[in-house]
Structure 1
Amino acid sequence: MTQDAAALPGPARSTDGVGAIMDAAMRGERPHHRAYEPLGQGPKDVFITSWAKSGTTLMQQMFHQLRTASAGGDMDFDDISRVVPWDDTAYLLDFDMTAPQRAAPRGFKSHREYERLPAGQRYVVTLRDPKETFVSHYRFLDGWHLERGAVTMEDFMPLWLGGGPGGCDCFTHLLSWHARLGEADSLVMTYRAVVRDRAAAIRRLADFCDIAIGPTEEALVYERTSREFMAAHRDRFDDGMICRILEEKAGVPATSDSTKVQATGSTLDALPPAIAETIDAMWAERVAPVTGHADFASLAAEVDAAHG
């Protein structure tokens, strides 16, 4: 390792250290970056904007395979966020958000709430139990941004509340999209409902995006959004572009485990009771008074019922 490389922060040993990683990654010029611009005419763009660890990658893949299904689908990419670009990381990646996409409609990823997204477009959201997102987010960063085992779940709360690049806290996001239920510009589903009945979610997303599909196209998308298929192609879903930036500018090895496709889904078995109690208290303070739902299961039942 060179002297310059040795001076880079590398994987963090505390939640505060993640800030140093991102500060280092943001340094330097961005000659190719162009901010998002809406189309002057044509179909409205589609923003896939679930909260962190709530099914965003699955929906990116579902959307991209849908819009390319009539041509046999498309897996010729190194990173799903190259073909369905992540608006919140575009500056970090020196990415041109105005570049032509491979198929219509155009699609973009975000973790933002409705109020901070470009107006007048279409929005796809999958909502997930906040406690499950906590476990999944910890599994995702432990061994990548964080040196494996250096930060306990009990100390992870500040990172979870951040919601990922450009994001917001989980409850701001959830309340924003719960308010969009039934709006024509928003397709709001629960992550578990999508996983439980992926075929129905595929048809729902196709209809929302005005993409005509038949049985052949539906079968292709169904296969390519399975956990088995995505795990077999996990190198397309591991934030490869971000990995390269973090290695070059922050000393975080690109060989770290950054895959978003886990062999098994995240459950609540490993969640410390104190964290569960803290999340429950946040829900009671912020979500229950607005939605009338005492917990996520109750809210999810409302969201799922909206789709019949």
Structure 2
Amino acid sequence: MKRPETLAQMNAALGRFATDHGVETGLAYRPGPTDIFISPYSKCGTTWVSQIAHGLRSGGDMAFDEITDVVPWLELAHDMGRNVNDPQAYSPKLFKSHLPWGVIPEGGRYIVVLRDPVDAMVSLYRFFDGWVFERGAISLEDFAEYYLDRMGREDYWSHASSWWGVRGRQDVLLMAYEHMKQDLAKSVAQIADFMKVSDARTRDVAQAQATLDFMKAHGQQFDDHLVRQARDAACGLPPDGEASKVAGGQAGAGRAQIGDVMREAYADKWRATMGATHGLESYEDVLARLKG
């Protein structure tokens, strides 16, 4: 069994990652008013925020095999043998998701992180390389072109636009990945305030357990091995893939890894979507507005 070696083969494999019934089961969930959905786009800080939020609600309990044990993935839980209606060990209930506003079940509370789309794309490429496709079989430039219109209406820009449009709601906390990198303490405090966790020691523990060093030291708890065990066979992927979730994630580093033509294509895409809809001419405008 070999991993995909072309974008078409990769898309076919990813098309089997979640079943229609499994996704529908997740979408049918009816949240309680304290439930929190952590729903950035792929590779925009979902695992990081999940760790912070779980630390805040649990006081730093690390007794889990993998983070999706304690923060179930809404769209994939059924396909992983989980029931999203089951009680969770701590309150509030937490769910991971990558869904946009307008699709994700309403009635709960939502934490979303935006990230420079080029950095998010490069991170996803590195994540897929050696897991979803044969290592080195697909070039970064080809993947970058594919990502521009990835998943149709559920591409990066549609997701970002949907959440930007509701950023003023009291039940939505919209953050920037780059700000989390710059000031983790401030970001943990924002999430703690949103979760109404005031205890200083709990905040300190959650912050300590969300550092890059700590999460790298506990890398197996964040590497999606349970996800791969549950879904690799369905996707036709060999069982020995690697999919590390904890990386350095240097802000802005992705742009140096693609050519001028592709960089301009990403700038054009941004202007045609976030610019036209929200008046945000570049991702730097997002950073300025969220830092506000």
Is the TM-score greater than 0.5? yes
Which protein shows a greater Rg? 1
Amino acid of the structure 1 residue aligned with 2:243: S
2:170 corresponds to: 184
Distance 2:7 2:199 in 1: 45
Distance 1:139 1:285 in 2: 27
Q: Match for 2:52 among 62, 66, 79?
A: 62
Distance 1:184 1:94, change over 3 A: same
2:273 corresponds to: 286
Distance 1:16 1:94, change over 3 A: farther
1:37 corresponds to: 29
After superposition, the C-alpha distances for 1:277-307 in whole angstroms (9 at most, x for unaligned) are: 21111112111122222110012100111xx
Pair 1:52-2:42 in alignment? yes
Pair 1:78-2:65 in alignment? yes
How does 1:19-38 map onto structure 2 within 5 Å?
19-23=11-15, 37-38=29-30
Amino acid of the structure 2 residue aligned with 1:262: A
Distance 1:283 1:250, change over 3 A: closer
Contact 2:26 2:76 in 1 (8 A): no
Pair 1:140-2:95 in alignment? no
1:255 shift after superposition: 3.2
Distance 1:180 1:34 in 2: 22
1:160 shift after superposition: 6.2
1:298 corresponds to: 285
After superposition, the C-alpha distances for 1:51-78 in whole angstroms (9 at most, x for unaligned) are: 1111111000000010001xxx211112
Contact 2:27 2:75 in 1 (8 A): no
Distance 2:57 2:18 in 1: 33
Contact 2:31 2:106 in 1 (8 A): no
Q: Match for 2:206 among 221, 233, 244?
A: 221
After superposition, the C-alpha distances for 1:73-110 in whole angstroms (9 at most, x for unaligned) are: 21111211121111122233232111211200001111
Contact 1:154 1:275 in 2 (8 A): yes
CA RMSD of aligned residues (A): 2.4
The ranges of structure 1 where at least 4 consecutive aligned residues each deviate by more than 4 angstroms after the TM superposition are 23-27, 33-36
Amino acid of the structure 1 residue aligned with 2:219: R
Contact 1:21 1:246 in 2 (8 A): no
User: What is the number of equivalent residue pairs in this alignment?
Assistant: 287
Distance 1:302 1:245, change over 3 A: same
Distance 1:35 1:102 in 2: 22
After superposition, the C-alpha distances for 1:133-155 in whole angstroms (9 at most, x for unaligned) are: 11111111111101000001121
- In structure 2, runs of 5+ residues without a counterpart are none
Distance 1:183 1:143, change over 3 A: same
2:142 corresponds to: 155
Contact 2:31 2:105 in 1 (8 A): no
TM-score scaled by length of structure 1: 0.85
Pair 1:232-2:217 in alignment? yes
1:3 corresponds to: none
Distance 1:162 1:239, change over 3 A: farther
1:159 shift after superposition: 4.9
Distance 1:250 1:179, change over 3 A: closer
Pair 1:87-2:74 in alignment? yes
SS of the residue corresponding to residue 89 of structure 1 reads: coil
Distance 1:187 1:66 in 2: 16
After superposition, the C-alpha distances for 1:159-218 in whole angstroms (9 at most, x for unaligned) are: 56436xx9811111111111122210100011111121111111111111122321x222
Amino acid of the structure 2 residue aligned with 1:212: S
Q: Match for 1:253 among 238, 245, 248?
A: 238
Amino acid of the structure 2 residue aligned with 1:91: H
1:265 shift after superposition: 3.3
1:201 corresponds to: 187
Distance 2:280 2:119 in 1: 18
Distance 1:44 1:51 in 2: 22
Q: Match for 1:100 among 87, 101, 115?
A: 87
SS of the residue corresponding to residue 242 of structure 2 reads: coil
Distance 2:41 2:110 in 1: 13
Contact 1:180 1:188 in 2 (8 A): no
Distance 2:275 2:164 in 1: 12
Distance 1:57 1:161, change over 3 A: farther
